[in-house]
Structure 1
Amino acid sequence: MMTNLFSSFDPSTSLYFPFNWLSTFLWMIFIPLSFWLIPTRSLSFWKKILFTLHKEFKTLLGPKALGSTFIFISLFSLILYNNFLGLFPYIFTSTSHLVMTLTLALPLWLSFMIYGWINNTVHMLAHLVPQGTPPVLMPFMVCIETISNIIRPGTLAVRLAANMIAGHLLMTLLGNTGSSISTSLISFLLITQILLLILESAVAIIQSYVFAILSSLYSSEVT
Structure 2
Amino acid sequence: MNTFITTFLPNVSEIWDEVLQSTWETLYMTLVSGLVAGVLGVILGVILVVTEDGGILENRHLYNVLDKLVNIFRSLPFIILMALIVPFTRFVVGTSIGTTASIVPLVVATVPFYARQIQNALVEVDPGVIEAAQSMGASPGEIIFRVYLKEGLAGIIRVSSVTIINLIGLTAMAGAIGGGGLGNLAITRGYNRFQNDVTLVATIIILIIVFISQAIGNALVKKVSH
Do they superpose with TM above 0.5? no
Q: TM-score, normalization: structure 2? A: 0.31
* More RCO (CA 8 Å, sep 6+): 1
